[in-house]
Amino acid sequence: MNKKNLVVIGNGMAGARVVEEILKRTPEMFQITMFGAEPYGNYNRILLSNVLNGTDKATDIFMNPLSWYEEKGIKLHAGVKVIKIDREKKTVIGVPLTRNDCPYSSSNPSPANRQTVVEPYDDVIIATGSRPFVPPIEGFGGPGTFLFRTLDDCARIADYAANCQKAVVIGGGLLGLEAARGLLTHGVLVTVIEAAPHLMPVQLDDEGGRLLKSTMEAMGITVYCQQIVKGIEKKNGKISHLVFHDGTTLPTDMVVVSTGIRPIVEIANEAGLAVGRGIMTNDQMRTNDENIFAVGECVEHRGQLYGLVEPIWEQARTLADVITGMNPQAAYTGSKMATKLKVMGVELVSMGEKDPAGEKDEVVTYREPNRGVYQKLIIRGDRLVGTILLGQVQAYDHLLQVLKDGNSVSPDRTELLFGQQESKSLTDVLQMPDGLQICNCNGVTKGEIRKAIRKENCTSVLKVGLCTKAGQGCGSCKNVIFQLIRAYADDLSSDPKEHYYVPGVPLEKSRLIAAIKAKNLKSVSTVFQELAGGKEDAVSKVGLASLLRSTWNEEYKDERDARFINDRVHANIQRDGTFSVVPRIYGGVTSADELIRIGTVAKKYNVPMVKITGGQRIDLLGVKKEDLPHIWRDLGIPSGHAYTKAVRTVKSCVGTDFCRYGLGDSIRLAQEIERAFQGIESPHKIKMAAAGCPRNCSEAYVKDVGVVAIEGGKWEIYIGGAAGGTVRKGDLLATVETHEEVLKLVGRFIQYYREHAKYMERTYGFAERIGIDRLKAILIEDEMGICKRLDQEIQKAASTYVDPWKKEAELPAYPHQFEGPELVQVLQEAVNNG
Amino acid sequence: MDKKTINLGFIEKIPLGQGFCFIVEKDEIAVFRPRSGGLYAIQNRCPHRRGPLAEGVCDAQTVICPYHGHKFCLQTGKGSEAGEEVRVFPAREEEGEILVDIGT
């Protein structure tokens, strides 16, 4: 196949990211050429502030060194600025820059006496980013005046500051404050000048801005607001002072201007592409030329410009889906903005709107002046539309999720700010001793995690886990790991892999399911062939097997190698290599005959231990693999699925048959639920219970799904309960009158969970992530109009359920399925190769 | 001990994409047959808690121990955890049969 020529203009964060995303999807489709005006590989521009404040060296922030381009077969023109896209000839023309040329200048160096570079293209991606905006200031541009955009800018500022006493930063926005904090580390007195009435006018309201000013001043930075600089005065060739519009002056030795950014659009303009404030694209990131895409800060999408990394990563993923044909309908629909100030000693997050839009908006504020804490929520029609958190930001992750999901919020607004008591504040995690064990499953200490973050550059929970195994057991420490990353990593890069359903296929769950359906992929191996460039990945196999089985039911093409050993032989592997067998005992009720049969089988196969489980069943432990099919046949009882991520058991209490208190027939209902949904595969195990009254003897309040009988002949349905590594009381989903209604809603919830939970996400995490109000709206009020479909889907899964024990006791799924190690007789003479 | 080449029988004994354990003299050897081709043999027991690696999920490079998820490279025996490594036995397929070199 002939490779198509793809030219990427811009080698910054957006350009490099989109190339990475494309290579992940199809390493072979394009011959890629990249132009970068800066003479480097690709570096993390977010960390420039850290380079300036000395926490990172310039070399620390490179993401892809020059060798990466070679390895990937990318032709990189570093230090070459594109001056024209010739849409007639389908070529891109660039000229090399010298050290003295500014890479983001709006005028091009004349191509005279420079060797131009011409590259042909089939497709172009424009990722030119933006340039600093400079307000009219007389005398700006000479020695001692700087902009703050590139690594070279950083180096020049630091060099110059070494011989200065005083520095002024013009611009009190995010980047200006980070520059000011960075300058402080170079031993100069720093003053910040802001034209607006308060700092960070884009992200903060009056009060937040005022509080931030006092926080900055406490650090030793002087702040003047509502001041506009007219000019810079020099004495003896050196900067001496600034002159303001009101005639006042301020002595200084150097000036850094950081007053915002503007998209770089000259080549798009010149090529006749549609340009507004930025280069206009549609939801597929295409410009008005079908072969020219754009991504990143240079883009105007639905009237919005984005200068933050997360939306740009999202744009890059969409663009890669479209351009590679992985999903031509992929759409970027815009992002909610969340800004985090990365200034040491200041905790500040702003997302969404900063002020109410009208009378109807509800504004919730919390103030603690002594600690410099200010928190504000803006709620519109029961949806969170904006948040400011200053001085204490532990609610950030939760609120960001709430804002992004757009779900309705609890009427008790304190829950939004203070309901997440489990998360620890940064001060707490900073104060933890290094020797404290954070991950109790794998015994990983805070010190080991900190080292992984600092030394190995693990800036996501997933990376920390791969590096240290922390968080890879039960997962209940993930929140603390996240807090540690926030405390110790300077860049909380969202690792796109965090959002992938499995690490080896670069798609989130919904996109993955869409691609699987579109391409009709029914086996794990075809998913790797079609969606992962043919590269099989052991870590991803079991998750894909689970998803495919849930997606296709009986049409799923089973490949047993993609399944964990438990699912290969339908039994749970034990620490000595033997297996456990747990027959299904519906609702915890057995019979004398069944017990006798279980006992007889246990004796016949010398089962070392017969144990009553916590789920009201009987566990035969220490069974050899070879005996499994024989035991199943002799038992004649279906599998209890105690070894897999599926519907397991439904516990019951004594209900109404004998109990003095029973209000509802919990035994019969438990059996009905268990028979209806037995063995249905899901993202994680589902444990259920039915209780005949609120005394809750079967612990229904702390199950993935629990039903509780209450006075008046009704049943309450609880979801998302847990009593394992995490303990959580379930949320009340609904109260209904009949067993039929219970079965319907339980099935509906299970199906929604199957479709939307991440792999290995238990219902307690899922219910919290989606929120009970949202779940009620979807599953009870049918807000999305999907209830009927969910009911049909779960019915389909239930009706195609086959007991794996019965099936494979008669006929193994593959030869040697139940064979143990083979003893090899070495008969032949030794072959001496000495 | 001299190097010996042992014939372990038909390749079909190992289900495609899986491993299978053979006990040769005193060695438990896990032989893997990745879907993408090739044949790899390593010691069966995980150095961490003696998990049977032959029961692990694998791809063309890596096997994951079923006990605690430690990973090992099928080609070099190098483990994902510090200081963990497994023995590697040269293995190949000839005329549909599995040949593995044991000894040193």
Is the minimum CB–CB distance between A2 and chain B shorter than 8 Å?
no
- The residue type found at A195 is A
Is the minimum CB–CB distance between A456 and chain B shorter than 8 Å?
no
Nearest chain B residue to A537, by CA: B59
Nearest CB among A469, A828, A830 relative to B2 is that of: A830
Query: Would you say A705 and A750 are in contact if contact means Cβ atoms under 8 Å apart?
Result: yes
Tell me which of A120-134, A459-473, A625-639, A724-738 is least confident. A459-473
Question: Which residues, including other chains, have CB under 8 Å from residue A587's CB and lie 6 or more apart?
Answer: A616, A650, A651, A652, A667, A668, A670, A671, A674, A690
pTM for the model stands at 0.59
Q: Is the pLDDT of residue A9 over 80?
A: yes
What is the SS3 string spanning A289-342? CCCEEECCCCEEECCEECCCHHHHHHHHHHHHHHHCCCCCCCCCCCCCCEEECC
Q: Which helix (H) or strand (E) holds A652?
A: strand A647-652
Mutate which: B23, B59, B62, vs A, most A CBs within 10 A: B59
Binned at pLDDT 50, 70 and 90, residue A490 comes out as low
**Cα angle value A575/A581/A582 (rounded, 5°):** 120
Nearest CB among A561, A573, A830 relative to B66 is that of: A573
Nearest chain B residue to A831, by CA: B4
**Distance in angstroms (rounded) separating the CA atoms of residues A386 and A391:** 17
Tell me which of A2-11, A61-70, A182-191 is least confident. A61-70
pLDDT of residue A830: 47
Binned at pLDDT 50, 70 and 90, residue A51 comes out as confident
Binned at pLDDT 50, 70 and 90, residue A834 comes out as very low
Structure confidence by residue, pLDDT tens digits, A622-657:
999 999 999 999 999 999 999 999 999 999 999 999
Structure confidence by residue, pLDDT tens digits, B12-46:
999 999 999 999 988 899 999 999 999 999 999 99
Percent of chain B surpassing pLDDT 70:
98
**Cα angle value A384/A767/A500 (rounded, 5°):** 85
With CB atoms and an 8 Å threshold, state whether A565 touches B17: no
pLDDT of residue A400: 81
Structure confidence by residue, pLDDT tens digits, A111-139:
777 889 999 999 999 999 999 999 999 99
Binned at pLDDT 50, 70 and 90, residue A720 comes out as very high
Interface of A with B in 647-676 (CB under 8 A): none
Nearest CB among A561, A575, A824 relative to B17 is that of: A561
CA distance A560 to chain B (A): 8
**B53 neighbourhood in chain A, CB within 8 Å:** none
CA distance B92 to chain A (A): 16
